[in-house]
Structure formats: structure tokens, C-alpha cells
Amino acid sequence: MFERKNTEARRIPRHIALIMDGNGRWAKKRMLPRSLGHKQGMERMIGLLEHAFGLGVDYVTLFALSTENLQRPKEELDGLYDLIRQHFAESMERICSRGVRLRVIGDRTLLPKDVQEILQDSEKKTLSYEGKGLNVALCYGGRAEIVRAVNNAVKAGTSVTEESFSKLLYTQGQPEPELMIRTGKESRLSNFLLYQAAYTELYFSDKLFPDFSDEELERAIVWYSKRIRRFGKTDEQLETEKK
Ligand code: FPP
């Protein structure tokens, strides 16, 4: 169980998506290697997960490595893989052993074999958990996810509806993210959850990811809780529906 946290937020999103940007700049500012920025980012990531689940969030999707990131220098990628080798299993155990189902989403075949095994072992330990979920996107691209789903539908020889299509995505069975947070002063989606984020509230923070504190997360959730989500309708229609 997660320690239940109090909050002034009126409404807690069931699903938060998080683009963890700014590790490299955080390290550069301190004249440290980028790999140390990622390490600091991973520690922050665990703290934020603990906080989010404690606030009552049910699903979190983290953008840890995009397909495009695979073009980064070998040294940086090796640093990230080493981070997974050394800390992933233990970090996931800390969070997921409290009833969170872990799914690694993306094309993991692009990762070194031993890293794939670590991911699979961590996922396996959580197979029986339901209700709370953590998706870690590695070698992930939103367009690739959509193309993969289309190909699966074509292979099955079926036409799709919006609802049936969403069942072909990695996030099948989960609520769509109501809130997406991107740190690091950039305001773009960078190919993250393109289909699922159609109605997601987007929150951009100037903080570099390792500096994105629990309080910053709460600020984002309070901001979200004040948004009026119309889904294309008018305020008057929403009022009538409430009655
Ligand atoms: C983007 O920041 C961040 C990444 C490409 C990696 C994110 C990884 C972690 C937070 C930790 C590792 C977690 C797992 C699950 C492996 P950037 O490097 O692009 O930062 P910059 O824009 O400042 O250069």
C-alpha cells in the first residue's frame, strides 16, 4: 500500500503521463556527465511515482527512451542501459511490490538482450496485480504504436472502431491519460501517446526533470483539477448533464 497523501486538488487524474526531459541539461549545468543526470532523473522518477500513487493516481506512463533517442551517442545509451542493469529491478520492486502492474511499452527488441531480460523479469513479478499500473516507455514512438496497431488489425482482417482500435494499443484496458506533464521547458509531445492524448490536459514545466519535486507534481495536479473538460461540448451542456 502507498501512504495516503492529503492534497488540495479537487480532482485526482486516474492516469498521468510524464515526459521526463532535462536530465542532460541538469548535468551540464553542474559540469557532470549526462549519465549522472539520468541517474538523478531515475531517483526523482521513483520519488514521483511514490507520491503520485499516494495521492490516488491509478496509472502512470513514463517516457524513458524514445525511438528517436536511440540515435544518441553510444556512450549515453550505454549509460542508460547500465542504469537499467544496476537499478531498474530494485527501483521497480520498491514501487510495484505494492500492487502496481508494470508494463514496458515500445519496441524492446531494439535493446541489448540482457536489458530485455531484466525488464521481462520485473514485469513478470507484477503479473497478478490489477487496479494500479505503471507503463515505462522504452524505444517507444507514438506513430510506431499506431502503425503496429493498424498492421495487427489488417492481419486480423478486421475493420476498427475508435473503441476497438484503442484495444490494440499498448495501453489497452487503461483509462486515457487525463494529464500529461512535460518538464524541461519544451512544449511539444515528441511522439508520445499520440492516440491516447487526444483529450489530455497538457502541463509544461520549466523545471529540469531532476528538479521536478513532489510539490511541483502536486501543483500540476491542482492545475489539472481546476480545468473544465468539455470534450467538445458547451458549458451549458455540461451543466445540464450534472443535474
Ligand atoms: C530526456 O532528457 C530524458 C531521457 C532521454 C531519459 C529519461 C530517463 C530517466 C529519467 C531515467 C531512467 C529511467 C529508466 C526507466 C531507464 P534529456 O537527456 O533529453 O535532457 P536534455 O534535454 O536536457 O538534454
Render the chain in DSSP notation, one character per residue: -PPP-----SS--SEEEEE---HHHHHHHTT--HHHHHHHHHHHHHHHHHHHHHHT--EEEEEEEETGGGGS-HHHHHHHHHHIIIIIHHHHHHHHTTTEEEEEES-GGGS-HHHHHHHHHHHHTTTT--SEEEEEEEEE-HHHHHHHHHHHHHHHT----HHHHHTTSTTTTSPPPSEEEE-SS----TTSSTTTTTT-EEEE--S-GGG--HHHHHHHHHHHHT----TT--HHHHHHHH-
What's residue 233's pLDDT?
A: 78
> Would residue 25 count as lying in a domain?
yes
Is residue 69 among the annotated active site residues? yes
Is residue 156 helix, strand or coil?
helix
What's residue 164's pLDDT?
A: 96
> Would residue 5 count as lying in a domain?
no
> Would residue 189 count as lying in a domain?
yes
C-alpha cell at 18: 510524464
Distance from C-alpha of 133 to C-alpha of 177, rounded to nearest angstrom: 12
> Would residue 215 count as lying in a domain?
yes
- Quick: pLDDT tens for 194-242: 999 999 999 999 999 999 999 999 999 999 999 987 778 788 877 888 7
- CATH number of the domain within which 155 lies: 3.40.1180.10
**Cβ proximity of 221 and 179 under 8 Å:** yes
Range(s) of the domain holding residue 191: 12-228
Distance from C-alpha of 199 to C-alpha of 140, rounded to nearest angstrom: 20
- Quick: pLDDT tens for 164-180: 999 999 999 999 999 99
- Quick: pLDDT tens for 103-133: 999 999 999 999 999 999 999 999 999 999 9
> Would residue 75 count as lying in a domain?
yes
The single residue listed with the C-alpha cell 483539477 is 225
Q: How many domains does the chain have?
A: 1
Distance from C-alpha of 84 to C-alpha of 192, rounded to nearest angstrom: 21
Residue whose CA lies nearest to ligand 1 atom number 5: 65
Percent of the chain with pLDDT over 70: 100
Q: Which residue of the set 58, 69, 211, 214 is catalytic?
A: 69
Distance from C-alpha of 183 to C-alpha of 20, rounded to nearest angstrom: 6
Q: How far is the CA of 80 from the centre of ligand 1 (A)?
A: 8
Percent of the chain with pLDDT over 90: 89
Q: How far is the CA of 56 from the centre of ligand 1 (A)?
A: 25
Q: Which atom of ligand 1 is nearest to the CA of 25?
A: 23
Q: How far is the CA of 205 from the centre of ligand 1 (A)?
A: 15
Plot region of 11 (φ>0 → left; ψ -120 to 50 → alpha; else → beta): beta
> Would residue 153 count as lying in a domain?
yes
What number of CA atoms fall less than 13 Å from residue 13's CA on the CB side? 34
pLDDT category, 191, cuts 50, 70, 90? Answer: very high
Q: Which atom of ligand 1 is nearest to the CA of 37?
A: 18
Q: Residues with beta carbon inside 6 Å of ligand 1?
A: 20-25, 38, 41-42, 45, 64-65, 69, 80, 83-84, 136, 184, 209
**What is the residue-averaged pLDDT of the chain?**
95
Q: How far is the CA of 16 from the centre of ligand 1 (A)?
A: 18
Amino acid at 141: G
> Would residue 143 count as lying in a domain?
yes
**Cβ proximity of 76 and 39 under 8 Å:** no
> Would residue 243 count as lying in a domain?
no
The single residue listed with the C-alpha cell 523479469 is 121
